[in-house]
Chain A
Amino acid sequence: MIPGEKERPIIRMYRVHKRFGSKAALTDISLEINENEFVLISGASGAGKTTLLKLIYRGESASEGQVLVDGMNLLRIPRNRIPELRRKLGIIFQDYKLIPDKTAFENVALVLEAAGHPRRFIGKKVKSVLRGVGMEEKADAFPPSLSGGEQQRVAVARAMVGDPKVILADEPTGSLDPDSAGVIFSLLEQYHRKGATLLVATHDRDLIRNAGGRVIHLEQGRLITGR
């Protein structure tokens, strides 16, 4: 953020509730996340971190309240505009969510193919992003032949390749050893320093302590504190 520049919210939630049947997953959540902000969402398992991220990428709809992402009102957007929303976001999951019968290169390229980019551009861009995460050498490897850390690096490359304004990461280091977790986190920080908004859901206390971003704490679906 340039000093003196006015902070502009890219994600806004206002009095959001999410219920699954009679069970409340999120209760009365109101928050704003600015452009180029780094936010950690902490909380125990089942606190509502994943649900909160799902509301942002419209994996779920809010039962009540308003969710706005980069000017799009998610309560009102029709189903056919959800892909447009998701192309503004890069999403990283704890279980990587890579397509097993596609190579690392193909998994990353899929984002640009879905966005309709020409093949030549896709080739260059994917190579450069894989180089950036240190996976250029393993571009032709299939996910099952890669370690957990390597798979997550491919997933990070996939999240970044479309140059999204926002990266959502749901427990990105949850399945990794400390060294691999460190690599993934530094890759996310690098991308954030280029100007992207970074939203990381985690219950890793060390990560929360050492990372520099704002912390949002969830407890039983309610927003408790912020750092």
Chain B
Amino acid sequence: MYRFWQRALRDISANKFLNGITAVTIALSVLIVSAFGLMALNLHSLMEKWRHGIRVLVYLEPDVSSKERKTLEDRIRRIEGVSGVIFISKEAGLAGMKERMRILDTLLADLDQNPLPDTFEVSLDAAALETNRVEGIVSTIQGMASVEEVTYGKVWLDRFTGLVHLFRFGGAAMGGLFTVAAMFIVANTIRLVLYSRQQEIEIMRLIGASDRFITAPFYIQGLFQGFLGGVVGLAALYGLFEIASRRIGGYLPVGFGDIRYFSLPTVFSILGCAMLVGWIGCYLSLKGFLKR
């Protein structure tokens, strides 16, 4: 094994430029693919948090008596999956809006009358959210007397889900493309090294060297290129992530947590994949060469 490493390192040092170009290509592939992956991961976890924080807002018809309101509240509480109901009077709703949207302060102050309806804020338990029973609950409430309208963040949730899917699909497509490109570049680098060592390989064969003995250093070289590319790509992504998280982090609503980098097992998996790309590139190159 020591000899294989020695020969691999000698080839790497003799072909620094070629090996550098290959490692940079793998690094770019890892960077692009992992960037998509990281975005999809964070959007997904953001979406999950959002999904779990969903509140159903039940707007009441105007002039609902307090008795009717109480009856309605009891009926909503009895629905399976409902974990809590809070009444927000239209006055409290307006005050809350003024608090949240200070930018509209003057506009809201000029209102002759309160345009907001009385509202129930209905929270759902985790099981209802997990099993997608939200729509069933919403339509049940919608059918109750004194209810004007029921809303929840479905439209936004759907759009967000679409965005996450887009990132996943885009990531997979770009990833596939770049991975194939990286493999071919590794294959070509190894092929060039093979041509430069053609005479040596021929002599090795004549003295009884097995294919394994001849090819092992090239595989080490491919794995090394993959490893180096993986480390550089992930390090670059981490740098960009740090800059981005500092800028974006402040804009995230409280309770949505922080954006995060890949876990250690994921980092190792990505490195493993980059090394596999190097290995496959090497295999593609050697397969044809040794048959000759």
Contacts and interface: CB of A to CB of B under 8 A. Distances in A.
| Most chain B CB neighbours (cut-off 10 Å) among A80, A89, A91, A114 | A114
A86 B203 contact: no
A87 B3 contact: no
Contacts of A86: 205-208
A158 B204 CA distance: 11
A179 B209 CA distance: 33
A98 B2 CA distance: 22
A80 B199 CA distance: 20
Interface residues on A, range: 20 to 34
B199 A114 contact: no
B149 to A, nearest CB: 77
A99 B206 contact: no
A162 to B, nearest CB: 7
Contacts of B208: 83-87, 89, 111, 114-115, 162
Nearest to A98: B203
A113 B3 contact: yes
Contact of A111 (B200, B205, B207): B207
B85 to A, nearest CB: 76
Interface string A51-64: 00000010100000
- Could you tell me the dominant secondary structure of chain B's interface residues? helix
Contact of A99 (B3, B200, B213): B200
Given A99-B200, A113-B3, A80 B207 contact: no
B113 interface: no
Interface string B1-36: 011000000000000000000000000000000000
B207 A110 contact: yes
Contacts of A84: 208
A174 B190 CA distance: 36
Contacts of B209: 83, 110, 114
- Could you tell me the dominant secondary structure of chain A's interface residues? helix
A110 B204 contact: yes
Contacts of B207: 86-87, 91, 110-111, 114, 158, 162
Nearest to B200: A99
Nearest to B3: A113
Contact of A114 (B2, B202, B210): B210
A117 to B, nearest CB: 11
Contacts of A162: 207-208
B213 A114 contact: yes
A193 interface: no
Interface of A: 57, 59, 80, 82-87, 89, 91, 97-99, 110-111, 113-115, 119, 158, 162
Given A86-B207, A97-B202, 13 more contacts: A57-B206, A80-B210, A84-B208, A85-B208, A86-B206, A89-B208, A97-B206, A99-B199, A110-B207, A113-B3, A114-B213, A158-B207, A162-B207
Contacts of A57: 206
Closest 6 CB pairs of A and B: A86-B208, A87-B208, A114-B209, A83-B210, A83-B208, A111-B207
Contacts of B200: 99
B111 to A, nearest CB: 88
B48 interface: no
B211 A114 contact: no
Contacts of B205: 82-83, 86
Contact of B203 (A87, A99, A115, A119): A99
Interface string B191-227: 0000000011011111111110100000000000000
Contacts of B213: 83, 113-114
A106 B210 CA distance: 18
Contacts of A114: 204, 207-210, 213
B8 to A, nearest CB: 14
30 contacts: A57-B206, A59-B206, A80-B210, A80-B211, A82-B205, A83-B205, A83-B208, A83-B209, A85-B208, A86-B205, A86-B206, A86-B208, A87-B207, A87-B208, A97-B203, A97-B206, A98-B203, A99-B199, A99-B200, A110-B207, A111-B207, A113-B213, A114-B204, A114-B207, A114-B208, A114-B213, A115-B208, A158-B207, A162-B207, A162-B208
A95 to B, nearest CB: 11
A89 B166 CA distance: 63
A154 to B, nearest CB: 12
